[in-house]
Amino acid sequence: MAEPVAKTASGGLERAREVLSHFFGYRSFRPAQERVVQDLMAGRDTVAIMPTGAGKSICFQIPALLSPQVTIVISPLISLMKDQVDSLTGQGVPATFINSTLENSEVEARFAAVARGCCRILYVAPERLENPWFQSLASRLSIGFVAVDEAHCLSQWGHDFRPSYREIAPFVRMLSRRPVIGAFTATATPEVREDIIRLLELSSPAVHISGFDRPNLFFDVRRGEDKDHFVREYTAAHSGESGIIYAATRKKVDAVYEALRQTGIPVGHYHAGLSDEERRKMQEDFLYDRRPVMVATNAFGMGIDKSNVRYVIHYNMPKNLEAYYQEAGRAGRDGEPSECILLYAAGDIRTQEFLISLSTEDEERKANNLALLRKMIDYCRTPFCLRRFILRYFGDSAVPERCENCSNCKNNTDLIDVTVDAQKVLSCVYRMGQQFGRMMVAHVLRGVENDRIRANRFHELSTFGLFRGRKQKEVMLLIDRLLALDCLELSGDRYTVLRLNEMSAAILKGQTTVLLPAPKKEKRRRPMDSGLFESLRACRTRLAVRDHIPPYMVFSDATLRDMCILRPQTLSDMRRVKGIGEYKLNRYGQDFLDALRDAFDAPDMAGE
């Protein structure tokens, strides 16, 4: 075993708690954090698998702060590294980073600061580790701890394989004394975990796997929804909040972005088709809340630590649940209630199947990817608890039947019976020979007489005109909803046609009823815009602009909310608010006390 990271075995945890409170403003560790911190401080290699938002960074930052030696943090992205270092220095923790954007002289200066002990946490990108110059500088430091962030990048089974992560083990071997190694990730699969242990050459590591639940996230699947309408309504109902909307293609991203822009929502977009400069600007505008809503492909998000993302909407179904949970998990990192909404349409299945068939992977991987896609589809279609589905997928065994915090647990009450309409649709599909797509079937049901319909003599069918008077969009939506519930299916190679399946037969025979959630108006999740919260938010924005940092780095939404509850009147009251350490107290405490006082002096707040 390597030397303890911090030689404070007895009472070590108490000291760790003091440091936690002093710098980060939290009174206690979360249980999973405490176990990881304890093992690392005792000098044991450790693998920590914790979901997004569980507080991984603190698990290596605290042992690093307590260690007399240098800690190297390996981080995959330049933006992520800069964010974390900015956030640490913003809390008074001396930390620095080295990456390819810096001049050699600056790199040397930073190394010198580390060697002098002015700063003991050094973030580096993995590519650096194979650079001989970097190696010679590093070999002169006394490195006690190497923390590998996003450790799943080591594994080609993971979703973000980075070959340069394989340089970590040779780098560690080169050091004169073996440091303790900690590996951190949110990816849970056993293959990834084994790869991490083997490729980092960990010696009998402690492996901590925390539960994957994110209780503050509300999971919602909307089947066959009018997606454009939903996105417009939702973003309008939650204006002022920050959210991400993921779509499958660049074209779709641009279309949704344009549509929202025209409604006056401050929105950004992000995909691989934009220039580096445009992407950088969009990302920055999002982080600084200048454009709090982002429409993006899955190219956006890794390394986005923005804690106040209140919703993540998937305009299209992603390729598997790992990708979904990771992307959706970017909501609510601050622990505040947030929503993860997936807009499911049966057409998304074909898009994903098509992408898998086009990929260059071997047949075994393709079959594996198709199996993962099936699970994703099952998630979209299940009538049972969504959270339970996800947690069981990730291997959590003791999960209650119902969470009461997902759309399936909540929506069961207001269902409407659409069996008769469903029978009309299915019967029409049958009579048209199962050779036509949604649009044509909807035309026949609505009684549209055009050349194509007459040529096929569909105007003579008994189902012709059964939905006369209804709008085309409404009938198409009904068909989409039936598809989403598997009441019929899409098939065909060249043209997508509607086909009946076993469920259709049961519906036509009257053996099954079809229930759909009643349409409902988008409501605001909760009154985020209470006067006091808004005043504090305005104060935060002002300070963020003054200090050139994103607002969430001043204080998180969770901290502002705690401030609304505790309503501190003095600086020492302020210190009791969650997330306010000594440094931030000195820097921002008085400004927020003033903002609180002003808010209470305002006439409409009196008596609150």
Nearer to ligand ADP, 59 or 599 (CB): 59
Provide the 3-class DSSP secondary structure of residue 242: strand
Work out how close the CB of 29 gets to ligand ADP at its nearest, in angstroms, rounded to a whole number.
5
Contact flag: residue 556 with ligand ADP (CB under 6 A): yes
Nearer to ligand ADP, 113 or 209 (CB): 209
Work out how close the CB of 30 gets to ligand ADP at its nearest, in angstroms, rounded to a whole number.
5
Nearer to ligand ADP, 33 or 504 (CB): 33
Q: What residue is closest to ligand ADP based on CB?
A: 55
Identify the bridge partners of residue 269 per DSSP, sorted by sequence position: 295
Contact flag: residue 305 with ligand ADP (CB under 6 A): yes
With tokens 């083990």, the residue in question is 169
Where does this chain touch ligand ADP (CB under 6 A) — which range of 25-33, 123-131, 291-299, 434-442?
25-33
Nearer to ligand ADP, 58 or 293 (CB): 58
Site track for ligand ADP across 431-450, x = CB under 6 A: --------------------
Residue 98 and residue 149: Cα distance in Å, rounded?
15
Contact flag: residue 332 with ligand ADP (CB under 6 A): no
Work out how close the CB of 183 gets to ligand ADP at its nearest, in angstroms, rounded to a whole number.
13
Nearer to ligand ADP, 26 or 600 (CB): 26
Show Cβ contacts of residue 385 under 8 Å, excluding neighbours closer than 6 positions. Answer: 400, 401, 402, 403, 406, 408, 409
Nearer to ligand ADP, 352 or 556 (CB): 556
Work out how close the CB of 439 gets to ligand ADP at its nearest, in angstroms, rounded to a whole number.
44
Residue 328 and residue 342: Cα distance in Å, rounded?
9
Residue 137 and residue 112: Cα distance in Å, rounded?
9
Work out how close the CB of 587 gets to ligand ADP at its nearest, in angstroms, rounded to a whole number.
16
Nearer to ligand ADP, 90 or 465 (CB): 90
456: buried, middle or exposed (CB in 10 Å: 19+, 13-18, 0-12)? middle
Residue 525 and residue 240: Cα distance in Å, rounded?
13
Nearer to ligand ADP, 171 or 184 (CB): 184
Residue 63: both structure tokens together: 């042992």
Residue 405 and residue 41: Cα distance in Å, rounded?
37
The closest of 474, 471, 449, 473 to 460, measured between CA atoms, is 449
The correct pick among 71, 210, 235, 307 for binding ligand ADP (CB under 6 A) is: 307
Nearer to ligand ADP, 57 or 405 (CB): 57
Residue 97: both structure tokens together: 């980073």
Where does this chain touch ligand ADP (CB under 6 A) — which range of 6-14, 27-35, 101-109, 130-138?
27-35
* Cα–Cα distance list, 12 to 26, 311, 515 (Å): 17, 39, 58
Task: Locate the DSSP E strands across 369-421.
Answer: 415-417
* φ and ψ at residue 289, rounded to 5 degrees: 65, 20
Where does this chain touch ligand ADP (CB under 6 A) — which range of 24-32, 165-173, 434-442, 489-497?
24-32
Nearer to ligand ADP, 75 or 352 (CB): 75
Residue 78 and residue 571: Cα distance in Å, rounded?
36
The correct pick among 30, 281, 290, 402 for binding ligand ADP (CB under 6 A) is: 30
Nearer to ligand ADP, 29 or 212 (CB): 29
Show Cβ contacts of residue 597 under 8 Å, excluding neighbours closer than 6 positions. Answer: none
Nearer to ligand ADP, 26 or 583 (CB): 26
The closest of 591, 561, 601 to 216, measured between CA atoms, is 561
Angle between the N-to-C axes of helices 419-431 and 472-484, in degrees from 0 to 180, rounded to the nearest 10? 90
Site track for ligand ADP across 47-86, x = CB under 6 A: ---x-xxxxxxx----------------------------
Contact flag: residue 577 with ligand ADP (CB under 6 A): no
Number of shown-chain residues binding ligand ADP (CB under 6 A): 17
Provide the 3-class DSSP secondary structure of residue 350: helix
Contact flag: residue 575 with ligand ADP (CB under 6 A): no
Work out how close the CB of 50 gets to ligand ADP at its nearest, in angstroms, rounded to a whole number.
5
* Cα–Cα distance list, 593 to 490, 529, 563 (Å): 60, 19, 10
Contact flag: residue 214 with ligand ADP (CB under 6 A): no
Which helix (DSSP H) or strand (DSSP E) does residue 206 occupy?
A: strand 206-209
Where does this chain touch ligand ADP (CB under 6 A) — which range of 22-30, 221-229, 310-318, 470-478?
22-30
Residue 367 and residue 79: Cα distance in Å, rounded?
35
Contact 97, 124 (CB under 8 A): yes
Residues that bind ligand ADP (CB under 6 A): 26, 29-30, 33, 50, 52-58, 305, 307, 333-334, 556
